[in-house]
Amino acid sequence: MSEPIVVGTDGSVESDRAVEWAAAEAVLYRRPLRIVHAVESWPFKAPLFAPPEKAERLSRVGNALVEAAEARVRERWPDLETATAVVAEDTQDALREQSEDAFELVLGSRGRGGFTSLLLGSTSLRVASRSTVPVVIVRGDVTGGGDVVAGIDLRQGTDAVLDYAFTAAALRGARLRIVHAWQMPTTLIDAGYTAEDEQATGRELRDRMLAAYEPHRRGHPRVEVVDEVVLKHPVTALTGPSRDARLLVAGAHERRWNAPRLGSTNHGVIHHAQCPVAVVPPR
């Protein structure tokens, strides 16, 4: 398969973990790996003020970073097709451009320079919110087993998230846990919503969940599936299972001019999950 797995690196410990995770992912999916480093020229944006020696030094450092990362990958996976790129561009623009033809983009949970802390928002969150390919944020335990957990929103399209999650579970030989969380509006509580009403809503949502993932299960008959419809805040419902999961899959929103694609739930999940998080854009 020609679509590569692209990973960003800045030489930090977290980005080194991301490169290792991306390389293992590339082997798993039988795809090439592309290691990218962005050389940001700020504050020397204007050519008039850009010292040639500064640009040359940044370029040398960038090339050394990706060459070192590639050497570590080749030492462990000598047969993996690996390429590198050093791009003189803003980090988010460089990553977006380099991943346009990718299967997925992998980033560390923290970084330095252009990869400033994901936990504080910054570049990685902006990349995930705008990417047209899945973005994986590598954090937490990346070596353990456990389920692949997929959080779905039945008010949104679920096919992209479920397709990614079923494939990930199948290739890993993992169980897939599908979670839909809902909350009771205060207006319903004020109107006298009863426990029987809550149970009826839960049954209806579970029927809708089964209808959503059944076609994907037929395509992956060997994947064991468990499903949960829970009356919880979505961030709590997803970050709880992430403690024992090997991957958490969530969906980005449809692109709208007046609404962020990640949304508050995905922001919360990325901040608090304890395993790698894949944010999958809608089809």
Q: What angle do the packed helices 234-242 and 263-272 form, to 10 degrees?
A: 30
Q: State the number of CA atoms in the 13 A half-sphere of 247 facing the CB.
A: 27
Rounded-to-integer distance, Cα 144 and Cα 274, Å: 11
42: confidence class by pLDDT, cuts 50, 70, 90? low
Per the prediction, the chain carries an average pLDDT of 84
Query: Which CATH number is correct for 5-138, 3.40.50.2300, 3.40.50.970, 3.40.630.30, 3.40.50.620?
Result: 3.40.50.620
pLDDT tens string 69-127: 999 999 999 999 999 999 888 888 889 899 999 999 999 876 554 443 333 346 667 78
CATH architecture of 148-280: 3-Layer(aba) Sandwich (3.40)
pLDDT tens figures, 142-183: 777 899 999 999 988 899 999 999 999 999 999 999 999 987
pLDDT tops 80 at residue 51: no
CB atoms within 10 A of CB 50: 13
Q: Where in the chain is the domain with CATH 3.40.50.620?
A: 5-138
The predicted pLDDT at position 283 comes to 78
The per-residue pLDDT for 211 is: 96
Contacts (Cβ under 8 Å, ≥6 apart) of 244: 144, 146, 147
Give ranges for CATH 3.40.50.12370 in the chain: 148-280
Q: How far apart are CA 117 and CA 125, in angstroms?
A: 10
